Chain A
């Protein structure tokens, strides 16, 4: 232990951290008030002026921001900087088909990369290492997030992206990747492929991995560690706040250290919004105190977690958050992609079908498989198998284009699914892991 990317911050005194946080919060609130009409209106409505914020202790005075607010101001309504200062856009799926769009200035990308670099170093990576990034590259923050983190560290990023697992293994072997970054389920799959290809994982130079973007259990960690003969660290993040690197595991594996110098966390009662003390589970809320382009104020993540400021054996003083244990909404995470049942309903209605459906999520061969049960309509049915299959495919394509993840469609008899009256069971999740936010 004792490896840090930015020791002066990661092991800073609480007073020093609070001073940084206070200065950044004051600056951020001013930025919001002056440059984001949405926030000016919100602050004015409660009679709050930027001058009323004197330190980080004043944070409960500020109003919350929700995913709905991002949706209402889609795509760029909450951006606080002019276009010439933006350097990057990412997006993740929203709840009704519209994406949640986020933007970054040069400094925002740098600070996010610092988070990812801290996570890499906490997992044992050095600038000598090859960092194999198997997260998807694109609007999703996973790929580029770890990629920039690796480069900032001075390590060598290998932007493999996801898919083509045999080639992944070949690169692990031939390039000698030292760290693997991907979803935990994909790490399992890679691990199994290594075994199938008859390669002894002990012969690979791989030492560790950073796995996030979907929930995973301690048993999965042990399985990945066994299959790949590595140490597996968790990483947390969400695009609204930055991306992967908002918080990360250290070798103590006893909660994820939050980069609270940029992303200030709070736990609040999901019903009342009241702040909750350390050790109490509630809704995780972040304020992007170090961000310029999208300075979200008290953003409700919907993830359920708890914070602790207790001493960590790794030496870091950064507050730790518990691995989230669930959601306050019905969001599902399918192969790293956020999916809301309301999106599925939206597609079904759009296709002219009755909104009777059921979502079944399973983990088959360590990959999430989502099946949407749809009641067959008279119009979809035909004596021809090819025609019914074409209807299935049409629905499948519509789901893929709205959800951003492939689903299986299963046609069932009309009126055979639970009705929406009362509490229809819309989602059956057989994966046995809790759900929480991702990039």
Chain B
């Protein structure tokens, strides 16, 4: 179970983010979530779109560098401490979380936490065993 995230290199120049989002919008991509990791000279834009392969092809044709990565998606129950439990489990098992971001799907009253770990299969197994539900790409669209 995994969600396909796309990452795009953004040079720190005015208007780059808008440019990428416009390309994706014009390509009819539904953007579920995005986050930016940044340092002074560049950033990495991470997005969840409904058709990652088509989005990457489109961005590459416009001169951008883009890549697909499987990330772990966790369905967060609407109760206090739900996401904390998942992270504690991973950390206790020595699974390092490189980055994370979350999004909600208000129409379905659902919230998802995305986690980047080195080994998705081991992490998924661990979470499922502890009654934490993980999501695949179709679940978030």
B5 at interface, CB cutoff 8 A: yes
| Beta-carbon contact of A413 and B63 below 8 Å | yes
- Residues from chain A with a CB closer than 8 A to the CB of B37 are 385
Q: Contact partner of A383 among B7, B41, B63, B64, CB < 8 A?
A: B7
Please measure, in the bound complex, the distance between the C-alpha atom of A383 and the C-alpha atom of B5, giving whole angstroms: 9
Given contacts A414-B63, A415-B63, contact A383 B46 (CB under 8 A): yes
| Beta-carbon contact of B42 and A411 below 8 Å | yes
- Which of A119-127, A159-167, A374-382, A423-431 lies at the interface with chain B? A374-382
| Beta-carbon contact of A381 and B63 below 8 Å | no
- Residues from chain A with a CB closer than 8 A to the CB of B46 are 383
Give the residue name and chain of the A residue nearest to B5 (CB): A383
Given contacts A376-B9, A410-B41, A411-B9, contact A384 B116 (CB under 8 A): yes
- Residues from chain A with a CB closer than 8 A to the CB of B11 are 411-413, 416
| Beta-carbon contact of B9 and A416 below 8 Å | no
A388 at interface, CB cutoff 8 A: yes
| Beta-carbon contact of A386 and B7 below 8 Å | no
Q: Contact partner of B98 among A376, A381, A384, A410, CB < 8 A?
A: A384
Please measure, in the bound complex, the distance between the C-alpha atom of A382 and the C-alpha atom of B7, giving whole angstroms: 7
- Residues from chain A with a CB closer than 8 A to the CB of B116 are 383-384
Please measure, in the bound complex, the distance between the C-alpha atom of A193 and the C-alpha atom of B90, giving whole angstroms: 50
Interface size on A, residues (CB 8 A): 17
What does the 1/0 interface line of A381-420 toward B look like (CB < 8 Å)?
A: 1111110110000000000000000000011111110000
- Residues from chain A with a CB closer than 8 A to the CB of B5 are 383
Please measure, in the bound complex, the distance between the C-alpha atom of A412 and the C-alpha atom of B41, giving whole angstroms: 9
Please measure, in the bound complex, the distance between the C-alpha atom of A184 and the C-alpha atom of B98, giving whole angstroms: 45
Given contacts A383-B5, A384-B116, A386-B98, contact A416 B41 (CB under 8 A): no
Q: Contact partner of A376 among B39, B65, B69, B99, CB < 8 A?
A: B65
Give the residue name and chain of the B residue nearest to A371 (CB): B41
- Residues from chain A with a CB closer than 8 A to the CB of B98 are 384, 386
- Residues from chain A with a CB closer than 8 A to the CB of B63 are 413-416
| Beta-carbon contact of A413 and B44 below 8 Å | no
Given contacts A413-B64, A415-B63, contact A381 B9 (CB under 8 A): yes
- Smallest Cβ distance from A17 to chain B, in angstroms? 56
Please measure, in the bound complex, the distance between the C-alpha atom of A386 and the C-alpha atom of B69, giving whole angstroms: 15
B67 at interface, CB cutoff 8 A: yes
A→B interface (CB under 8 Å): 376, 378, 381-386, 388-389, 410-416
15 interchain pairs (CB within 8 A)? A376-B65, A378-B67, A382-B7, A383-B5, A383-B44, A384-B98, A384-B99, A384-B116, A385-B44, A385-B99, A386-B98, A388-B44, A410-B42, A412-B11, A414-B65
